[in-house]
Amino acid sequence: MKKKNGIVLRPMNYLIIVLLSVTSLISPILLSSETTKDWLVLGHSAAEIGDAIGGISTPFIGFLAAYLVYLSFEAQIEANQTQMDIISQDMKYNFITSLSNEFMDSFDYLKFNYQGRDIIGNSICSSLNNIGKQLKTYEVNKNLNLSDHNLTQMEGNFLGCLNTLSMYVQKFVLIKEEISKSNLPDSIKELKKNIILNFVKDNITTYINRTRHEYYDYFSPEMKCEIKEFLSVTDELNR
């Protein structure tokens, strides 16, 4: 299949055009021969031969012209469809770009009430680390008096921070699904996914992994379960 001037020409198209063209060209020669004139009982005057040639060749020329018009319409339809696909891709690209930028910008407005004050963005991740550090301090220094109430409060703050981050990361899961089902080229899909994935990794996952690595042994069973579940979600984003 070849494209020229926007018209798709297939082998069958070439065959039809050649047959119609050859028929139109050789019919005058055949009809003007003595044998053909006698066989078809044609007159021998130039006018009669001309009328016969015109009457027989005109339909072939008409078919050829109609077929070329058909190919032009077919090419126009394909061009329109291509243009619509390009417009659709541009709209999807702009939508996903806007969605991704909004996702990343909203991290700075992510809020959690920690010990009576609102903390946002990276401060939420830092709070998880601070809670782990406090739990380690109380565990190492057994002489410090830590009430069950304080332990419960720290665990609640830890789970609250983690839950806030988890809901934020879930938004990325939805964005990833939008990117996957879009009609964008695979290279653009991967680029958009990696931009957000790296953002989550740099601003959230790295902090969570560091907290787990340093203070996991001092967490309660529920805290261990929740942090494992959170990291399993972020790991899923890489697949």
pTM as predicted = 0.60
Joined together, the tokens standing for residue 210 give 């560091």
Q: Which residue has the higher pLDDT, 202 or 12?
A: 202
Q: Which residues contact 14 (CB under 8 A, 6 or more apart)?
A: none
Q: Which residue has the higher pLDDT, 28 or 80?
A: 80
pLDDT at 231 over 80: yes
pLDDT at 23 over 50: yes
Q: Do 93 and 188 touch, CB atoms closer than 8 A?
A: yes
Distance CA 156, CA 220 (A): 11
Joined together, the tokens standing for residue 229 give 């579940």
Sign of torsion over alpha carbons 127, 128, 129, 132: positive
pLDDT at 239 over 70: no
Mean pLDDT of 50-57: 62
pLDDT of residue 113: 80
* pLDDT, tens only, 122-175: 888 888 888 888 888 877 666 555 566 677 888 888 888 888 888 888 888 888
pLDDT of residue 111: 83
Q: Do 127 and 119 touch, CB atoms closer than 8 A?
A: yes
pLDDT band with cut points at 50, 70 and 90 for residue 177:
confident
Q: Do 224 and 216 touch, CB atoms closer than 8 A?
A: yes
* pLDDT, tens only, 64-77: 778 778 878 888 88
Residue type, 96: I
Exposure of 227 by Cβ count < 10 A (0-12 exposed, 13-18 middle, 19+ buried)? Answer: buried
